[in-house]
Chain A
Amino acid sequence: MFKQELFTKKEILSFKLRELFLSQGFSLYEMNTFEPYSFYLENMDFLSSKDILYFADKDGTLMALKPDITLSIIKNLDTTVDKHKLYYSENIYRVPRASEKFQEILQFGVEVIGRLSDEDMFNLIYLAAKSLLIIDDNPVLLISDNSIYQKLIEQAGLSKIQDKIFTAFQNKNLLLLNEVLQDSADEKYSAIFKALLFLHLPLDLGIKELETILADEVFLENIEYLRNLYNYLASRDLQTKVFLDFSIPEGLKYYDKISFTGIIPEVSSEILKGGEYSNLVRSKEKSYQASGFAIYLEKIDFNGREQ
């Protein structure tokens, strides 16, 4: 075997993550070709960055350097297969928030796509939590349920202002939420939205709190799902702290049910992001569901870390 000194800290971390994904039955997905630029334009809602690097192929077709991997995986899925369990380690090309220029970024990701059970979905969240533990000793996984938002917005008839409500949630901005709801929502829904805005509790306590906030029986299914998720994680002696929090960054259009982000103390923004995106994959195959996450290793300062 090669000596450990031959590898960088980032490479060692990558190997550990791959080892974890393989041990859970995921196989490597390699993306050796490029997609047309038009493909990403059609799916712009599902990209976190609107900046795409494009080039003309030999036949003149406008192609793109990969801004994202998940969309390609879905596009090229073999829908005769019952369940795909894939992970990837690919360079993507994006303009990070703090930068004015494109960067090549190594992105790790995991996707489970197919005719799935709840347990498949829970296993993916478990895998996200385990991945965080490989990266840091004290990670936290924050979980939200976007379908609760959608149900609330639909029930309260607030679809016209849903982007503003979501912005208020992303920033835990009660002032903005009050402004937005002032003339649009009745007292009952205003009270629910406000209670959800500051919800930030360990998953088990969060679920109990959610039961009191969401008394309507239409939410029973969501609460039951979260409770089953908690039981699944609790039965696996997971060391990652898991919190319920509804200020998940972006993704209402992309993640249609559970969404989650992973954080560690040394990085000032999320290092892992994922969720269930069944609506997107159903455009390819109606009986399919999907869930996945990406890890942003470029955010870690490896120079400041112990080997």
Chain B
Amino acid sequence: MKDGLKIALPKVRLGNKVYAVLSQIGYGYDEIMADSRKLVFYDEAKGNTYFLVKPSDVATYVEYGAADIGFVGKDILLENNSNVFELYDLGIGKCRICVAGEKDFPYHEKKHLKVATIFPNISREYFLASGKTIDLITLHGSIEIAPLVNLSDVIVDIVETGTTLRENNLVVHKEICPVSTRYIANKVSYTYKNEEIRRIYDLLKNLEAENND
């Protein structure tokens, strides 16, 4: 078995977009996109191994060296404070982390808030810096319901097009930061597999330049 790169890819929607980019730069492996339940793929010709993992776990696989490189949303890196090299912004999966709530909620006047979120660390840091105190309620999905059933005053969540917010009569009160997919590397792998990791960086850069031409 060749000692190629171990690559952590996010499953589901974002994974498809990342895979399309990898294919364009010559790092595709057709079996990954076949409809199967396999999670580990070994490309014998190139020696690379691909793992399909939950998007929120990609950075963990890379930080602890199970994978050399990975592709992950900036939201996950911020939330986990991941100790990895963040080498390149692929510019895909673009969205924003926002504070949202009901239209009439007096967000700017409130000094204390009940905040529901799947991003407790990002929320804690943001409100600490903005001078508001908060009660933090950590949820794992369907965050938009929280203000509607008085579980929280506001939510901190990912907003892509804003459709889900609109359909639940919510509006963005404040944007915290933009988010997109990043190419990351384990800090030790960066030295031991530097040539390959840098090669992917260069290929991603070239691809962006071609697309901009």
Which A residues are within 8 Å of any B CB, using their own CB?
Answer: 97-98, 140, 142, 171-176, 200, 243, 245, 247, 249, 263-265, 267-270
A249 to B83 CA separation, bound complex (whole angstroms): 9
Residues of chain A lying within 8 A (CB to CB) of residue B212: none
Q: Contacting B186 at CB < 8 Å: which of A98, A142, A268?
A: A268
Residues of chain A lying within 8 A (CB to CB) of residue B63: 268
Q: How far is the CB of B133 from chain A (nearest CB, A)?
A: 22
Q: Contacting A172 at CB < 8 Å: which of B64, B65, B85?
A: B85
Known: A98-B64, A171-B84. A267 touches B89 (CB 8 A): no
Q: How far is the CB of A299 from chain B (nearest CB, A)?
A: 11
Residues of chain B lying within 8 A (CB to CB) of residue A264: 188
Residues of chain B lying within 8 A (CB to CB) of residue A142: 191
Q: Inter-chain contact count A-B, CB under 8 Å?
A: 52
Residues of chain A lying within 8 A (CB to CB) of residue B187: 247, 249, 263, 268-270
Residues of chain B lying within 8 A (CB to CB) of residue A97: 83
Q: Is the interface of B mostly helix, strand, loop or mixed?
A: mixed
6 contacts between A and B (CB under 8 A): A142-B191, A175-B88, A200-B194, A245-B191, A263-B188, A265-B192
Q: Is the interface of A mostly helix, strand, loop or mixed?
A: loop
Query: Please, which residue of chain B has its CB at the minimum distance from the CB of A265?
Result: B192
B40 in the interface (beta carbon within 8 A): no
B86 in the interface (beta carbon within 8 A): yes
Query: Please, which residue of chain B has its CB at the minimum distance from the CB of A168?
Result: B86
Residues of chain B lying within 8 A (CB to CB) of residue A174: 87-88
B42 in the interface (beta carbon within 8 A): no
Query: Please, which residue of chain A has its CB at the minimum distance from the CB of B81?
Result: A97
Q: How far is the CB of A92 from chain B (nearest CB, A)?
A: 20
Query: Please, which residue of chain A has its CB at the minimum distance from the CB of B60?
Result: A98
Contact present for B83 and A269 (CB under 8 Å) = yes
